[in-house]
Structure 1
Amino acid sequence: MIGRIVQSVDFERVLAAPTRARSTHFAVHFLAARPAVKVAAVRHAAHKLSTGEAPLQGAAVDDLPEGACWLGAVVPKRHAKRAVTRNLLKRQIRRVVHAQVGLPSGLWVIRLRSPFDRKLFPSAASDALRTVAGNELLAVMAKAARTGA
């Protein structure tokens, strides 16, 4: 099972950890931990209800299966100017991570660390860019999965 990292505190924790693997364009960070729980949101919701109890929505983070992974993707505008390109790269990141088998449980962040050459990939979302990025992500995730295992 793969969830998404949504809180900035979780991104900060993972990015503070050493890089687990890197390639020309991507860096993979890993932290063997679970996402932080939003305590303030639960208190705020409980305070507004007349019964004084917050409704339960979904499974608690601690109740998720043991092999659960959480993924965050960082694709900054300075490396991918067009939203189409950023979205393409994020989709490729999610596709590659979902295809990985045997990833260690914890928080994973994949970030774009350098831009793709616009002279080689003039189109914002070309099949060539999708293929090159996908292949590079497959290689760097395979290396990251082997490292520290």
Structure 2
Amino acid sequence: MQRLKTRPQFQAALAGGTVSRTAHFALHRLSLVQPEDTSLAQTEKNGPAPSSEQALFGLFDVWLGAMVPKRWARRAVTRNAIKRQIYNVSEHFVDRLPVAAHVVRLRTTFDRKQFISATSEPLKLAVREELLQLFERAVRQEVRS
């Protein structure tokens, strides 16, 4: 699994559309197509240029990025803990996810009255359970497609 690093990569993946949603998270996906063989014979032909989105992702692999806006998680400790959970949970689904660029986006805040500590175990557990639901729904939707 590759990680999204640049702003254009994140923007392209977000533009791909939402494939799964939970109460706090959304999963966006931009499908990638297998690049054709670039042999000498191929380069002499005039063909369609690769899409700009495709050019952002050098490898034909599963790409993942995590967006945890400060608007929804004020403390850096909380943002980092949520991002770690996103990457850890996604490792369990890497073989079941399609070759595409994925972005997991936090779309609303976790109640600070319920989760008082910035990195409490109940918060980590709640985030993990919801991420498992998010990825399960995305995988199930992919199987139906």
TM-score scaled by length of structure 1: 0.77
Distance, in Å, in 1 between the alignment partners of 2:55 and 2:68 is 20
Q: CA shift at 1:17, angstroms? A: 2.0
Structure 1 unaligned segments of length 5 or more: list them.
Answer: 38-60
Alpha-carbon contact 1:10-1:36 (below 8 Å) kept: yes
Code of the residue aligned with 1:148 in structure 2: it is E
Letter in 2 for 1:36: L
Q: Output the CA distance in 2 between the equivalents of 1:146 and 1:117.
A: 29
Cα deviation for residue 146 of structure 1 reads 1.6
Deviations 1:54-87 (A, max 9, x none): xxxxxxx34xxx5x21110000001000000000
Is contact 1:35–1:107 with CA below 8 Å preserved after alignment? Answer: no
Between the aligned partners of 1:30 and 1:17, the Cα distance in structure 2 is: 5
Q: CA deviation at 1:106?
A: 1.1
Partner amino acid, structure 2, of 1:6: K
CA pair 102-126 structure 1, distance change in 2 beyond 3 A = same
Structure 1 distance, partners of 2:129, 2:119, is: 16
* Displacement after TM superposition at 1:148 (Å): 3.1
Alpha-carbon distance in 2 for matches of 1:72, 1:78 = 18
Q: Which 4+ runs in 1 deviate beyond 4 A?
A: none
Distance 2:17 2:62 in 1: 18
The offset of 1:102, in angstroms, is 1.2
**Amino acid across the alignment from 1:91:** R
1:142 is paired with a residue whose SS is: helix
Task: Tell me the SS of whatever aligns to 1:102.
Answer: coil
Root-mean-square deviation (CA), in Å? 1.4
Query: 1:145, 1:6 → 2: CA distance?
Result: 24
What is the distance in 2 between the residues matched to 1:87 and 1:73? 10
Partner of residue 56 from structure 2, selected from 14, 20, 36: 36
Structure 1 residue 96 and structure 2 residue 116: aligned? no
State the identity as a percent: 42
Other-structure match for 1:69:
62
Q: 2:78 aligns with which of 74, 85, 96?
A: 85
Q: Is residue 13–residue 101 contact of structure 2 (8 Å, CA) maintained in 1? A: yes
Could you tell me whether the CA contact under 8 Å between 1:5 and 1:72 is conserved in 2? yes
Partner of 2:113: 119
Pair 1:141 & 2:135 matched: yes
Which residue of 2 is the match for residue 130 of structure 1?
124
